[in-house]
Amino acid sequence: MTRTPIWLAPLAGCALLAAPATLAAQEEATVETAAEAPPADAEIERTMAMLGSMFPAEPLTPEQEARLPQAQRIIARIIPEGTLGEMMGGMFDQMLGPIMKLADAPAIQTVSKGTGLPDYALQIEPEKAAEAALLFDPAYAERSQREAAVLPGLMRDMMAAMEPTMIKAMSELYAIHFTEAELAGIDAFFQTEIGAAYARKSFTLSSDPRIMAASMEAVPAMMGSFAKMEAKLAAAGEGLPAKRGFADLTPAEQARVAELTGYTVEEIAEEFARAAAAAANDGEAEGEAAERE
């Protein structure tokens, strides 16, 4: 049975997450050229370095280093140069593209950006949304079409940029987890006609609409699992004291929290009230949306 390589799952997740992020970045972009663009934010670099430090990798042992060239030859057959970019193109055309077409019309996004109101708070008819969007951006429809046309290429470029790092990581993993004899067997398999076909088609299979259809089919069961999870988590807290908010604390406790955090009681009370009001508004909006559905 042919299986989708397990490491494609996080790549697909990155692509799904990056797609709306890329569109958002396009909306924020100015007409300045790449040469005029500001340098990368040092804060972002520090954050990425911190995240990277969360996943330290042990250096290869001498034995694993000795197997690395053999592993690299295998990965070169599994992931030929340009493979990830091609995979991303197929994934976008057959999976991400249709998903994005199902998203709210760009009119809602335009109105949301122009007003500062979140999308879920703009429960208005499409015609009204389109009229309001034209006030903020007379070219919003054409702009959206142009951005959608550019996005597949951007996603392919993103995956192509990831390819060298992914190839390096996969080569090291093969050198770590397979013996010299096992690597020889794997290498021999991929040199056969069937092995070469498997390596080539496994990427095509990963972007087949059946994968997304199967994921959607599993959603009800997943939601049922989430419901059971919430019930089990609630049961795990039975018998424990109820959680409290800042408003539930005694004056002495509030003063201690202020002392510990460095904020005044008034500042914390204000922030707590604001957060509570926002949560209440969100709950009302979700309830109204559910009633309309």
**Cβ atoms 272, 248 nearer than 8 A:** no
Residue type, 217: E
Structure tokens at 203: 């990427």
pLDDT digits (tens, 9 = 90+) for 146-202: 877 787 788 788 888 888 988 999 999 999 999 999 999 999 999 999 998 888 777
Burial of 129 (0-12, 13-18, 19+ CB in 10 A): buried
Domain that holds residue 78: 8-29+54-217
In this structure, the answer to whether residues 210 and 290 fall within a common structural domain is no
Number of domains in the chain: 2
Res 16 pLDDT > 90: no
Structure tokens at 95: 């999976």
**Cβ atoms 171, 75 nearer than 8 A:** yes
Residues 47, 58: Cα–Cα separation, whole Å? 22
CA atoms within 13 A on the CB side of 254: 15
Local structure of residue 248 (DSSP, 8 states):
G
In this structure, the answer to whether residues 197 and 69 fall within a common structural domain is yes
Residue 132 lies in a domain: yes
In this structure, the answer to whether residues 101 and 196 fall within a common structural domain is yes
Closest CA to 84 of 21, 161, 153, 4: 161
Given 179, 202, 217, the domain boundary residue is 217
In this structure, the answer to whether residues 136 and 197 fall within a common structural domain is yes
pLDDT of residue 211: 73
In this structure, the answer to whether residues 85 and 191 fall within a common structural domain is yes
pLDDT digits (tens, 9 = 90+) for 98-137: 555 555 458 888 888 888 878 777 777 888 888 888 888 9
In this structure, the answer to whether residues 128 and 192 fall within a common structural domain is yes
Res 11 pLDDT > 60: no
In this structure, the answer to whether residues 144 and 281 fall within a common structural domain is no
Residue type, 90: G
Q: Among the ranges 77-81, 91-95, 98-102, 260-264, which has the highest mean pLDDT value?
A: 260-264
Residue 181 lies in a domain: yes
In this structure, the answer to whether residues 200 and 131 fall within a common structural domain is yes
Residue 105 lies in a domain: yes
Residues 15, 205: Cα–Cα separation, whole Å? 17
Residue 96: what are its φ and ψ, rounded to 5°? -70, -40
Beta strands in 96-239 (DSSP E): none
In this structure, the answer to whether residues 93 and 179 fall within a common structural domain is yes
Q: Which of 31-35, 52-56, 142-146 has the lowest mean pLDDT?
A: 31-35
pLDDT digits (tens, 9 = 90+) for 230-253: 788 778 888 888 888 999 999 999
DSSP per-residue codes, 10-31: HHHHHHHHHHHHHHHHHHH--S
Cα-based angle 224, 98, 128 (whole degrees, multiple of 5):
95
Residue 281 lies in a domain: yes
pLDDT of residue 105: 57
Residue 287 lies in a domain: yes
In this structure, the answer to whether residues 266 and 205 fall within a common structural domain is no
Long-range contacts of 269-277 (CB under 8 A, 24+ apart): 272/245, 272/246, 272/247, 273/247, 276/245, 276/247
In this structure, the answer to whether residues 256 and 114 fall within a common structural domain is no
In this structure, the answer to whether residues 268 and 131 fall within a common structural domain is no
